């Protein structure tokens, strides 16, 4: 997608052929900076500190991280160590494990001196596939928006509420939840996006708003607690969120606060969709609430906020009564019964085992 008219992806090979460049998302929306990742440690730090974030992008970065590790140690032990280091960076997004499994399986089939090139190329293929998947999610999901526009009389924009950032910054390009919105906007269907601020890290206010601004998509940033009230008063036509891990039964794990929006949507008859690529589905799990590991992040994300001062400088300020204990679970699980449908690169299905296996019949055989 574009930044100041120039097309970018969130991660791309450096011209030197032995490293990658990423957009530093900890600096957005106020500064646009690229960061070069040249080693396993660079990639692990980038994922852990959320220089890169969003489930699909974490997966692609881990794949490149494994490739970069092969430059230092391409032995079997080296593969194991790199996989363990990268897998430990963030626990919830299954795309991370999925990408590491795919690249490491591939690597073990070739001699050590071929492993860097093999892994770098495989990471590039994963990135390309992610772009294609997200583009397809956009095409399928935009139909939902277009249908709703027509069903509501066609004389006003469709108001779509989204949570966190599941846009192009969370993937390699296009995004998951925002891809249908971009596609609808491009095909002339009027949309207005309600952007949940998404405390504590404010991915909605900082990143989703930045993206939508960059593409001229009308939007309004709202406080996290406003969604229920707006739904009660007919101010939301549709919710679309992303996912970090979706079970084979259709439970959707996404940024903390998603579940509350799904409850409010259910209570108010607002359709609630999750948009995700196949790499986000964990076919080994059935009960998302019991089985998906929820990342617990540093309490400092709750007690402090970073932003821009009137003079243009940056400051981190304390916002919680000093000494109060804090908790910071980073994700929650929305049970399938609250999800109207899952938008994937293969089409849209019911949030259920039947629905998902219907779209991915080859997985039924594997199960």
Ligand X SMILES: CSC[C@@H](O)[C@@H](O)C(=O)COP(=O)(O)O
Report in angstroms how near the CB of residue 102 gets to ligand X at its nearest. Answer: 18
Task: Tell me if 254 is assigned to a ligand binding site.
Answer: yes
Contacts of 271 (CB under 8 A, 6+ apart): 144, 148, 237, 238, 239, 265, 340, 341
Q: What is the DSSP letter of 204?
A: I
Query: Binding ligand X by CB under 6 A: which of 217, 330, 339, 356?
Result: 330
Report in angstroms how near the CB of residue 330 gets to ligand X at its nearest. Answer: 6
Query: Binding ligand X by CB under 6 A: which of 28, 170, 193, 194?
Result: 170
- Of 53 and 97, which has the nearer Cβ to ligand X? 53
Contacts with ligand X, 233-262, as mask; x by CB under 6 A: ---------xxx---------xx-------
Task: Tell me if 54 is assigned to a ligand binding site.
Answer: yes
244 belongs to the catalytic site: yes
Sign, CA dihedral 54-56-59-64, equals negative
- Given the rule CB under 6 A, which of 66-74, 113-121, 163-171, 351-359 is the region that contacts ligand X? 163-171
β-strands 272-275, 341-344: how paired?
parallel
Residue with tokens 């963030």: 90
Report in angstroms how near the CB of residue 198 gets to ligand X at its nearest. Answer: 8
Closest C-alpha among 338, 251, 332, 242 to residue 293? 332
DSSP 259-280: HHHHHHHHHTT--EEEE--GGG
Report in angstroms how near the CB of residue 56 gets to ligand X at its nearest. Answer: 6
Torsion of CA 209, 216, 347, 171, to 10 degrees: -50
- Hey, which residues between 192 and 211 contact ligand X (CB under 6 A)? 203
How many chain residues touch ligand X (CB under 6 A)?
18
Task: Tell me if 53 is assigned to a ligand binding site.
Answer: yes
For position 59 contacting ligand X by CB under 6 A, the verdict is no
Q: How far is 21 from 38, CA to CA, in rounded Å? A: 9
Q: How far is 137 from 166, CA to CA, in rounded Å? A: 12
Q: How far is 271 from 47, CA to CA, in rounded Å? A: 32
Task: Tell me if 245 is assigned to a ligand binding site.
Answer: no
- Of 203 and 303, which has the nearer Cβ to ligand X? 203
- Of 242 and 341, which has the nearer Cβ to ligand X? 242
Binding site for ligand X (CB under 6 A): 53-56, 93, 164, 166, 170-171, 175-176, 203, 242-244, 254-255, 330
Active-site residue set: 244
Query: Residues at the annotated binding site?
Result: 53-55, 90, 203, 254-255
């Amino acid at each position: 997608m574009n930044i100041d008219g120039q097309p970018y992806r969130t991660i791309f090979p450096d011209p030197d052929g032995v490293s990658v460049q990423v957009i530093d998302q900890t600096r957005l929306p106020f500064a646009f900076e690229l960061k070069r990742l040249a080693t396993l440690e660079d990639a692990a730090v980038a994922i852990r500190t959320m220089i890169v974030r969003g489930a699909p992008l974490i997966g692609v970065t881990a794949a490149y991280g494994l490739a970069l590790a092969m430059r230092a140690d391409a032995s079997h032990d080296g593969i194991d160590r790199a996989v363990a280091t990268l897998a430990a960076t963030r626990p919830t997004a299954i795309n991370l494990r999925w990408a590491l499994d795919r690249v490491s399986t591939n690597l073990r089939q070739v001699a050590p001196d071929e492993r860097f090139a093999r892994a770098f190329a495989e990471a590039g293929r994963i990135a390309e596939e992610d772009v294609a998947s997200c583009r397809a999610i956009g095409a399928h999901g935009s139909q939902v928006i277009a249908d709703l526009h027509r069903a509501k009389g066609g004389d006003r924009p469709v108001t779509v509420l989204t949570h966190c950032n599941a846009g192009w910054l969370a993937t390699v390009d296009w995004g998951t939840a925002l891809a249908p919105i971009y596609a609808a906007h491009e095909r002339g269907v009027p949309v207005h996006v309600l952007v949940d601020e998404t405390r504590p890290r404010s991915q909605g206010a900082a990143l989703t708003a930045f993206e939508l601004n960059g593409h001229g998509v009308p939007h309004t940033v709202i406080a996290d607690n406003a969604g229920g009230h707006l739904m009660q008063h007919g101010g939301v036509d549709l919710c679309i969120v992303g996912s970090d891990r979706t079970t084979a039964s259709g439970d959707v794990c996404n940024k903390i606060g998603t579940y509350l929006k799904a409850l409010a949507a259910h209570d108010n008859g607002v359709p609630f969709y999750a948009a995700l690529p196949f790499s986000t589905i964990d076919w080994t799990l059935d009960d998302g609430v019991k089985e998906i590991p929820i990342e617990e992040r540093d309490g400092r994300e709750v007690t402090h906020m970073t932003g821009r001062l009137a003079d243009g400088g940056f400051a981190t300020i304390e916002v919680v009564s000093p000494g109060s204990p804090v908790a910071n679970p980073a994700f929650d699980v929305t049970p399938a019964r609250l999800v109207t449908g899952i938008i994937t690169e293969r089409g849209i299905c019911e949030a259920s085992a039947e629905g998902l296996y219907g779209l991915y019949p080859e997985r039924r055989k594997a199960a």
